[in-house]
């Protein structure tokens, strides 16, 4: 299956999510999990709980049910204990004599077994993240293509179009498109960094390309893959990924310090140095002065100043540092006999 994550605060319609997702999870073969997070000050404090619920801990959504004008969600703690102590929790004041008769309808009984009942509005208020997994049955088929992305300067900013995947669909179908990198837990010697991934999808029917018909979601807590669920008509599609090294934000703030560190790392990383064909034969840092004239770090006449103006020490030159190779894969799941042909290419 394929899992996606999203924040409960990002739901555009709580009614549609109830009717189209939670009530029909068996029809769509989906599993749901939820978790809650506190602010950064308390998120790592395992001693805290929110009316019996633990932050940073995953809970399973067992089923939902509408009963006597209220919407209920039956949730389970996989530990088999430690339950919700708020409204509609086991033995709470909401369970009056009138409502105790509804326990059988909800298929629930009191006891410290990890299963508890929440009203839907409390469910969305207390839990901050929802994880949804789509389970594929034999009616689904998968096509895929993996690309080897050559080394590039570590501080390079990637844009949509540097990498392209072409998809050809022979008939209308529900589809799930997944962009993924290798799992660093199992391929530590082949991939030494993790990348942020996202992509946009275009329908190839106009020149220039039309606006994207869909974009990838965000996989909270996991950088390994991003995905998108949509309906596709027969035709040609273009998937444009964008990748960014997980530490690029450090480069922007501390470029010189980081280059010193990564220069040392590059000496031990298990990858071959880039060839002239991969780098265009030019590994020099481009001149960023433009038409602004000589910088403050150059002497009159254009000679480089050998001293650092702040410390008086000998100025250092920082070699260009390159990323390891990246294996990037696109998987396309289609349904009911639809076939997807997938191919990819690197454009830079």
Q: How many CB atoms lie within 10 A of CB 161?
A: 14
DSSP reduced 3-state for 149: strand
d(C-alpha 76, C-alpha 55), whole Å:
15
d(C-alpha 135, C-alpha 132), whole Å:
10
Residues with catalytic function? 57, 77
If you search the block for the tokens 């962009």, which residue do you land on?
179
Could you tell me the pLDDT band of residue 67, with boundaries at 50, 70 and 90?
very high
- Vertex 246 angle, CA 242 and 250, to 5°: 115
Could you tell me the pLDDT band of residue 235, with boundaries at 50, 70 and 90?
very high
Q: How many CB atoms lie within 10 A of CB 230?
A: 13
- The radius of gyration computed from the CA coordinates of the chain, to the nearest angstrom, equals 27
Structural domains of the chain, with CATH: 2-134 (3.90.70.10), 140-249+323-346 (2.60.120.380)
Q: Minimal CA–CA distance to 330: which of 197, 165, 186?
A: 165
Q: How far apart are the first and last CA of the chain?
A: 33
Q: Minimal CA–CA distance to 163: which of 216, 192, 214, 200?
A: 200
**φ and ψ at residue 117, rounded to 5 degrees:** -110, 135
Q: Which of the pair, 211 or 210, is modelled with greater confidence?
A: 211
Q: What percentage of the chain exceeds 90 in pLDDT?
A: 37
Show Cβ contacts of residue 301 under 8 Å, excluding neighbours closer than 6 positions: none
Could you tell me the pLDDT band of residue 39, with boundaries at 50, 70 and 90?
low
Q: Please, are residues 83 and 91 in contact by the beta-carbon 8 Å criterion?
A: no
Residue 62 clears pLDDT 80, i.e. is over it: yes
> For 115-165, what is each residue's pLDDT tens digit?
999 999 999 999 998 988 888 888 899 999 999 888 777 666 778 888 999
Question: What is the token pair recorded at 61?
Answer: 């959504």
């Amino acid at each position: 299956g394929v899992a996606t994550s999203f924040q409960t605060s990002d739901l555009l319609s709580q009614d549609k999510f109830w009717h189209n997702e939670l009530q029909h999870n068996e029809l769509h073969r989906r599993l749901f999990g939820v978790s809650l997070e506190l602010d950064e000050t308390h998120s790592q404090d395992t001693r805290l709980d929110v009316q019996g619920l633990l932050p940073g801990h995953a809970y399973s959504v067992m089923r939902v049910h509408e009963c006597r004008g209220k919407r209920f969600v039956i949730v389970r703690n996989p530990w088999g204990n430690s339950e919700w102590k708020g409204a509609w929790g086991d033995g709470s004041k909401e369970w009056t004599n009138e409502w105790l008769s509804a326990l059988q309808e909800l298929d629930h009984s009191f006891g410290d077994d990890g299963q508890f009942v929440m009203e839907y509005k409390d469910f969305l208020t207390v839990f901050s993240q929802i994880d949804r997994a789509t389970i594929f049955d034999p009616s689904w088929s998968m096509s895929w293509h993996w690309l080897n992305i050559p080394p590039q300067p570590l501080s390079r900013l990637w844009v949509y179009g540097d990498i392209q995947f072409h998809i050809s669909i022979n008939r209308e179908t529900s589809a799930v498109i997944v962009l993924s990198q290798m799992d660093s837990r199992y391929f530590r010697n082949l991939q030494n960094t993790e990348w942020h991934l996202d992509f946009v999808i275009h329908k190839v029917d106009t020149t220039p390309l039309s606006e994207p018909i869909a974009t990838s979601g965000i996989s909270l807590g996991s950088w390994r893959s991003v995905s998108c669920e949509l309906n596709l008509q027969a035709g040609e599609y273009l998937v444009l990924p964008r990748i960014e090294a997980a530490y690029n934000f450090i480069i922007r703030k501390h470029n010189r310090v980081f280059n010193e560190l990564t220069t040392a790392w590059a000496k031990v990383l298990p990858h071959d140095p880039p060839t002239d064909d991969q780098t265009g034969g030019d590994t020099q840092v481009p001149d960023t002065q433009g038409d602004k004239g000589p910088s403050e770090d150059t002497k009159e006449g254009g000679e480089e100043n050998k001293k650092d103006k702040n410390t008086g020490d000998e100025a250092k030159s920082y070699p260009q540092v390159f990323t390891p190779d990246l294996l990037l894969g696109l998987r396309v799941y289609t349904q009911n006999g639809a076939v997807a042909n997938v191919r990819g290419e690197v454009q830079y």
